[in-house]
Amino acid sequence: MVMVERVEAIYQDVVKRNPGEVEFHQAVKEVLECLGPVLVKYPDFTEAKIIERICEPERQTIFRVPWQDDRGEVQINRGFRVQFNSALGPYKGGLRFHPSVYLGIIKFLGFEQIFKNSLTGLPIGGAKGGSDFDPKGKSDNEVMRFCQSFMTELWRIIGEHTDVPAGDIGVGGREIGYLFGQYKRLTNKFEAGVLTGKGLVYGGSQVRTEATGYGCTYFVEEMLKGKKNGLKGKKVVVSGSGNVAIYTLEKVHQLGGKVIAMSDSNGVIVDERGCNIETIQQLKEVERRRIKDYCDYHRHAKYIHGGNIWDVPCDVAMPSATQNEVTGKDAKKLVKNGCIAVGEGANMPTTPDGVQVFLSAGVLFGPGKAANAGGVATSALEMQQNAGREAWGFEETDAKLHQIMKNVYQLCSEAADEFGSPGNFVVGANIAGFIKVARAMSAHGLV
């Protein structure tokens, strides 16, 4: 009880010291709520103020990103890189380009990344960055000029042994290419390991594009296997239609499930025959169009403008769009409609009351920091290949990803058992992720 009060006091201090950063508060609260029993078992973590230190980023950089649009007009955006924790390895985490980005979003993502990266078992610290730049509707040239300007600031604080950014919402292969080109030009070095998610022709890894979606599906399959069940024959709903959603769709179909609904910020498509991956890829990745156009190619499918994807009855829900997209109300609806498992492909897509609804209904719940760890894990494999000047094949890399996701599941499941919450992978992920980082921080002394 005393320990729980102590953790509550730390949380209140975080809220006070980081005013207005509601997503960051939410992410911290979820982790801290799980740590009471850890402090009882490891009193030295309290003495060394590990929790207080872990909640304070090691370094935060905010910078101006000026660029010119196609009409010659000057545009100003804000760039961020929060280097949260380097206890386990170089800072690692993606860049998000989205108009909603502000410091609170980057800090929530960076904080989550510490524990996620720890769970992968690979030597990577936690970071996140990005900009309030909106890539929607921008030409390739505008995106390139923005990326070049962004990197003209960012290059000073990154490096293959220092900080290794990658993609996130709004940052994919195209953006990473432009960022890498500018880094190479500014430093006069072909330092492949400075960014991950690179193209295959210049140092990228097989399976990195597919990794988050594949990994999340592997995690869900592990949760179901724990209950002598599996994805085969299951109806799955996947929100979003970006990189994570597309490769979740592919892997679910490979494992015998059927994805019957997907979405974008405008609406939902329902295709009871199973969503077609080629169409979604062509629309979203190549032509950068809206999901409603799916119905032009598949007349039997339905488009619901402004619809809520969580109203579609399913066995398994895989939120893969963005934070807080599944509310308590949505969770209740899903449970009522018979949903038995949730795998979070996005970062923190379920609100805290939504998580409670799932846990108390006995729904298998794979929290993002465990379920979507396959993306960053494969980034770490990309770093490994770059360091060894190697390029592994698709099957070999996919097998490593699969094994990593099995390990992540095992870690969460064992920690949940050990600390008295069997089957609660939120507790399991937070505790297992935290302990490894805390041990490394203790070993490093007061830094």
Q: Least separation, in Å, of the C-beta of 16 and ligand GLU?
A: 27
Answer whether 263's CB lies under 8 Å from 321's CB: yes
What whole-number distance in Å separates Cα of residue 102 and Cα of residue 80? 8
345 to 364: interface string for ligand GLU, x by CB under 6 A: --x-----------------
Query: Applying CB under 6 A, does 93 fall inside the site for ligand GLU?
Result: yes
Query: Applying CB under 6 A, does 243 fall inside the site for ligand GLU?
Result: no
Long-range Cβ contact pairs of 138-142 (< 8 A, separation 24 or more):
138/69, 139/70, 140/174, 141/70, 142/67, 142/69, 142/70
**Among 168, 210, 222, 344, which residue interacts with ligand GLU (rule: CB under 6 A)?**
168
Q: Which of 237, 242, 229 is nearest to 258 (CA)?
A: 237
Buried b (16+ CB within 10 A) or exposed e, 82-111: bbbbbbbbbbbbbbbbbeebbbbbbbbbbb
- How big is the site for ligand GLU, counted in residues (CB under 6 A)? 11
Q: Least separation, in Å, of the C-beta of 191 and ligand GLU?
A: 16
What whole-number distance in Å separates Cα of residue 167 and Cα of residue 156? 19
Residue 128 among the catalytic residues: yes
Three-state helix/strand/coil letters over 5-35: HHHHHHHHHHHHHCCCCHHHHHHHHHHHHCC
Q: Restricting to residues 377-406, which ones interact with ligand GLU according to CB under 6 A?
A: 379
159 φ/ψ angles, rounded to the nearest 5 degrees? 165, 160
What lies within 8 Å, CB to CB, of 302 at 6+ separation is 269, 270, 271, 295
Q: Least separation, in Å, of the C-beta of 297 and ligand GLU?
A: 30
| Between 166 and 312, CB nearer to ligand GLU | 166
> Residue 386, SS3?
helix
168 φ/ψ angles, rounded to the nearest 5 degrees? -160, -155
What whole-number distance in Å separates Cα of residue 268 and Cα of residue 263? 4
For strands 267-270 and 316-319, give the pairing: unpaired
What whole-number distance in Å separates Cα of residue 368 and Cα of residue 250? 19
| Amino acid making up residue 431 | I
Query: Applying CB under 6 A, does 94 fall inside the site for ligand GLU?
Result: yes
Query: Applying CB under 6 A, does 163 fall inside the site for ligand GLU?
Result: no
For strands 235-239 and 258-263, give the pairing: parallel
| Between 93 and 135, CB nearer to ligand GLU | 93
Candidate segments 359-367, 374-382, 388-396, 406-414, binder of ligand GLU by CB under 6 A: 374-382
Q: Least separation, in Å, of the C-beta of 202 and ligand GLU?
A: 17
| Of 92, 107, 116, 128, catalytic | 128
Q: Least separation, in Å, of the C-beta of 347 and ligand GLU?
A: 5
Q: Restricting to residues 53-92, which ones interact with ligand GLU according to CB under 6 A?
A: 92
**Among 231, 246, 376, 411, which residue interacts with ligand GLU (rule: CB under 6 A)?**
376
Query: Applying CB under 6 A, does 279 fall inside the site for ligand GLU?
Result: no
Query: Applying CB under 6 A, does 196 fall inside the site for ligand GLU?
Result: yes
Please give the residue whose beta carbon sits closest to ligand GLU in the complex.
94
Candidate segments 67-75, 180-188, 285-293, 371-379, binder of ligand GLU by CB under 6 A: 371-379
Q: Which of 55, 142, 162, 155 is nearest to 97 (CA)?
A: 142
What lies within 8 Å, CB to CB, of 446 at 6+ separation is 48
Q: Which of 53, 160, 25, 21 is nearest to 434 (CA)?
A: 53
DSSP secondary structure code for residue 265 in this structure: S
Q: Which of 394, 14, 404 is nearest to 205 (CA)?
A: 394
Query: Applying CB under 6 A, does 244 fall inside the site for ligand GLU?
Result: no
Q: Least separation, in Å, of the C-beta of 219 and ligand GLU?
A: 13
Provide the residue count of the chain: 447
Q: Least separation, in Å, of the C-beta of 235 and ligand GLU?
A: 27
Q: Which stretches of the chain bind ligand GLU, using CB under 6 A? A: 92-94, 116, 166, 168, 196, 347, 375-376, 379
Q: Which residues are catalytic?
A: 128
